Each structure stands twice: as structure tokens, then as C-alpha cells.
Amino acid sequence: MWCTLPRLRLRAVVRFWTALSLGVLPIWASACGYIGLDLRQETDSTGSGGLGGATDLGGADQGGGSDQGPGGIDQGGASDGSGGEDGGNCQEGEFGDPVLLSDLAVEGPKWAPSVTLDGLLLLFAVGTAFGEQIYQSARQDHNEPFGPAEAVKELNTHDYQGTPFINAAGTRVYYFVQSSPDQTTRQLWLAERKDRKSKFSVVRELSELNAEGRDHLPWLSTDERLIYFTSTRAQDNYTADIWTAAREKVSEPFSAPKAVGGLFALLALDDGSPSLSPDGLTLYFTSNRTSTYEIWSAERPLDSEEFGAPRLDSTLNSLFNETNARLAPDGRTLYFTSDRSGSNELWVSERLCSP
């Protein structure tokens, strides 16, 4: 019977019993800053933080509303003009083989890539000797790779700040600030600037979203009225779930966050790094429900309903950890972190246009 199990399920069973025998099942991964013990290799614990994991999500309302509600419109479906073939549907095709972002010229583990609507500005976090800091890289054209990155110094005012999400225009960035050295408390913050040539100057905490524990890895709709993020608030800081909140206007505070329903799995410890497709009907996230962290997706027929059973994309995942996945606003480009090369680096995959 065991020989007929799929590769991922067999690996999950083996690692489940290994973790059980070691007595570390509730905290089994530390990759990318996740609380616990990584059974494969030792990694930097200053990463993008514990995705922490799934519990009974209870079918909570996801706050997406109708197609006219927050996040239900203006999701940024425009193509960035890169990849695929002309005339095809590039939001429906399968993802192609991931490509390493090899020209960033920054030493250290990298996490949480995020790009602007035009695909020309990239923000991400780097583990440095001074803690986790936010970096950016720009390019002039989609046919060019992202070049050498530089620290966003005005944001790096604490020992740990990371998992940045840049808005469509590149004028606002949502990120976490860590207020405790043991990584048990992370809070969502917002920084603003006039334009891309200016420095971020207006910085404030998004206090209406934060709770005890680790709140991080935000993703927002293009109109910034809908937010999804990762939080350990319901799990005693050992595991985390995906949460969401909405608002009517960008100038207003978000509503009270609610857990996203429909993703429950018996052995899921960590669900996080959420991002939505432009139509709001597909959720991309990372989870260790097969023991290593991998990229999953779940679909729903309407944005007012729960997501269905998640599925893996074999093209995106490897035998190693894939974390911090974020779908770009164009709906066809997925950026993520993977340690498949031996360290946590940034990768990108583009959809192959379907006929």
C-alpha cells in the first residue's frame, strides 16, 4: 500500500512519524522564520516569520463581499507584457518552470517578494547581520531582469522589519515590525510616499489589524480595500492561519479581521502567504500540510463563498521549501522564496498562455 502512495503523501507520512518520534510534531518547521524545528537543515530564524498553521477555521466570512465590494473590483488584471504567447489567455494557463532572480547582488536569505502593478519595482526582505531588512530593485523593462538591490533605509529603523507588500503605484508599502527579540510579536505597519522617486516618510501602525502574536505577510487588492495576511493570534503563537479584513475607502481603517474558511486540513500546521487572483476566485498560499512548505491554490465559484479543497502545483514545488508566494497584480506571474538552491532565494514563474 505504501508504495502506491503519491510521492508527496509518502514523504508526509515519513516526516510525520519522524517528527512524532522526536516529540516535535507541533513545531516542526523553522524555515523562513517559522517557529519550530526544521528536520532537513538549519536555517536563519529571522525570516519572513512563521506562517504557522491551520486549525479549524470555522467557515468564517472572508470579507470579500460581492463583485462590487472591497477587493471585488479593480484587482489589477492587466498583463505586464512579459512571457507567454500573443492571443492566449495568460491568466488561465499553467505556470512555467520557476526562474531564479539571480541579479539582485544581495547576500543573505531573501523572503517575501512583491511587485508593483507595472512589474518594474520589486520589494523583498533580506536576513542581514543587523536583522531582517527591506530591500528594493527596479528595472526599466519587463524583458530585463531585476538588477542589484538596495536597502530602503528609511524603513529599516528596527532590528526586524520585513515581508513587504508594495501597492500598485509603488507609493505605499505594508510590512511587519517586530517588537520583541524572540519573534513572538510582529505587527503590521504602513509607510507612504508621494511617488517612487521620493522616500517613504509617513509611517504608522495598522493597529486595527494587529493582535497578540505574529501578524505579517500582508497582501492587498489593487484598490487596497481588501487585505489578506498571516496571523498566529488564534494558535498560541505556534501556528498560524490566513486572515482577512476589508474597508470601504483607503483612507478608512480596516474592519475587524476574520479567519478565512475552507482550508482546513488535519495535519496542516502552517497556512500563510496568501494572495488572490485578479477576479478574487483563486487563493494562492503556502502550507506545510505535506511536511515541507509548498505552494497551494484553492478556488471558489463566488467571492462571497468559501474556498474549496486546496491543490498542489507540481511545476512550482520542489523537494525543498517553497514559501512567501505572491501572485503579481497581472494574475500571471508568481514570485516566491525557495531553498531549492541551498539557501532562501527569490524565484519567479510565469503562466504559459492557454489557447
**SS3 for 98-149, per residue?**
CEECCCCCCCCCEEEEEECCCCCEEEEEEEECCEEEEEEEECCCCCCCCCCC
The residue-averaged pLDDT of 166-186 equals: 90
pLDDT classification of 239: cutoffs 50, 70, 90: confident
Q: Which of 47-51, 223-227, 269-273 has the highest mean pLDDT?
A: 223-227
pLDDT above 90 for 210: yes
Q: What are phi and psi of 4, to 5 degrees?
A: -95, -5
Q: Which residue has the cell 519567479?
A: 348
pLDDT above 60 for 84: no
pLDDT at 52: 32
pLDDT at 332: 93
The residue-averaged pLDDT of 271-296 equals: 94
Task: Please provide the average confidence, as pLDDT, over all residues in the chain.
Answer: 78
Type of residue found at 340? R
pLDDT above 50 for 11: no
pLDDT at 90: 61
Q: Which of 236, 254, 243 is nearest to 218 (CA)?
A: 243
Q: Which of the 8 DSSP states describes residue 24?
A: -
Query: Between 25 and 125, whose confidence is greater?
Result: 125
Delineate the domains of the chain, giving CATH numbers in brackets: 26-80+96-348 (2.120.10.30)
Percent of the chain with pLDDT over 70: 71
Q: Which of 34-43, 193-202, 287-296 has the highest mean pLDDT?
A: 193-202
Q: CA 147, 297, 269 angle in degrees (round to 5)?
A: 95
Q: What are phi and psi of 317, to 5 degrees?
A: -95, 155
The residue-averaged pLDDT of 281-295 equals: 93
pLDDT at 347: 98
The residue-averaged pLDDT of 181-190 equals: 87
With b for 16 or more beta-carbon neighbours within 10 A and e for fewer, the 49-68 pattern comes to bbbbbbbebeebebbbbeee
For residue 239, list its beta bridge partners: none
Lowest mean pLDDT among 16-30, 116-130, 214-228: 16-30
Q: Which of 263, 302, 282, 286 is nearest to 351 (CA)?
A: 282
pTM attached to this predicted model: 0.77
With b for 16 or more beta-carbon neighbours within 10 A and e for fewer, the 306-326 pattern comes to bbeebebbeebbbebbbbbbb
pLDDT at 100: 98
Lowest mean pLDDT among 40-44, 236-240, 243-247: 40-44
The residue-averaged pLDDT of 265-274 equals: 77
The residue-averaged pLDDT of 112-119 equals: 98
Lowest mean pLDDT among 95-104, 214-223, 230-239: 230-239
pLDDT at 111: 97
Residue 85 CA to residue 17 CA, distance in Å, equals: 46
The residue-averaged pLDDT of 116-144 equals: 95
Dihedral through CA 234, CA 225, CA 334, CA 273, nearest 10?
-10
The residue-averaged pLDDT of 56-81 equals: 34
The residue-averaged pLDDT of 315-333 equals: 95
Q: CA 38, 44, 50 angle in degrees (round to 5)?
A: 65
